[in-house]
Amino acid sequence: MFDRIRRLNPFRDSLRKTREGVFARVTSLLTQQIIDDALWEELEELLIRADIGVDISVDIIQALQTRVARDKLTQAREVESALREELLALLGGSQTTGLAHHDPMTSIMVVGVNGVGKTTSIAKLAKYLQSQGHSVIIAAADTFRAAAVEQLAIWGDRLGVPVISQSSSADPGAVVYDAMQAGLARHTDYVIADTAGRLHTKFNLMEELKKIQRVARKVDPTAMHEVLLVLDATSGQNALEQTRVFGEAVGVTGVVLTKLDGTAKGGVAFAIRRRLDVPIKFVGTGEKVTDFAEFDAEAFVGALFNSE
């Protein structure tokens, strides 16, 4: 099943802390011990420490115990391949979760709290779409934070991507409206809209995002086609609450996971997928604008175990 993983796994470096920390202990545990109660207890503890979550970790252990009994496994090393398959299944198997594509134009609203790497992720997404041969326009609709508009303008110049913006404190919906009209006029493939990450209250923020959606749908009744939530992997289980809140407000269609290289708890990806049933669509894999990969469940699971 894992033979298709590319030799140059895009997640290998970003998952190094998780692989060399918790999952190194998992691998050691499953190569040295016989299958007994102590093994199950320690394996469950390690999965929880990886931020997979208590309930999911318990379910994994029960599934593995069922497989051990069914297949009459006797050596702990035989459990590792079963564990990989269970983890892969949690991520939705080998199915792809790419972006939606709509004619004549696809709109993407990017949401997330401040500090998660939203602006950089938008630049990376634009670069990724360019590499696929697509044309892109960016709407700088986080008008509540002047630095965000300035950062996008700089990225736009570097990438050769038009950035639609207005004056500071302008109506974010108006910026998105202008960007989408420009996209249609220029026959652009994708319009990516940045949004605010913080207003005075959570309620105000969510209402502002809903308003942006309503304005966008005046241009295209089906917009927004994608709502991508940017999550900081180092936030751990807090990422689950962010996914739930944004999902209830604007209907998140996918997650962009950032800063995996900064945590030894990369297991939060499994919790996001299982508890909230939201696919991870992209992962930021480093600092450069090209360090951005479409999510591949097999490569992700492989990078947790393989050190080559």
Residue 223 is which amino acid?
A
The predicted pLDDT at position 112 comes to 93
18: tokens are 């998780």
Asked if the model's pLDDT at residue 252 lies above 50, the reply is yes
Higher pLDDT, 267 or 5: 267
Q: What integer pLDDT is reported at residue 199 of this predicted model?
A: 75
CB atoms within 10 A of CB 217: 14
The helix, strand and coil proportions of the chain, stated in percent and rounded to the nearest 5, come to 50, 15, 35
Most confidently predicted of 71-75, 208-212, 234-238: 208-212
Tell me what the mean pLDDT of segment 77-102 comes to: 85
> Which residue's entry shows tokens 């630049």?
123
192 - beta bridge partners? 108, 138
Of 55, 56, 41, 45, the closest CA to residue 22 belongs to 45
The torsion angles phi and psi of 163, rounded to 5 degrees, stand at -120, 120
- What are the tens digits of pLDDT across the range 160-216? 999 999 987 789 999 999 999 999 999 999 999 999 988 767 889 999 999 999 999
Q: What's the rounded Cα separation, in Å, for the pair 42 and 44?
A: 5
In the chain, the percentage of residues whose pLDDT exceeds 70 is 95
Q: Angle at CA 146, nearest 5°, toward 181 and 120?
A: 75
Instruction: Judge contact between 59 and 74, C-beta under 8 A.
Output: no
Using pLDDT thresholds of 50, 70 and 90, give the confidence band for residue 126.
Answer: very high
Report the range of poorest mean pLDDT among 65-69, 140-144, 270-274: 270-274
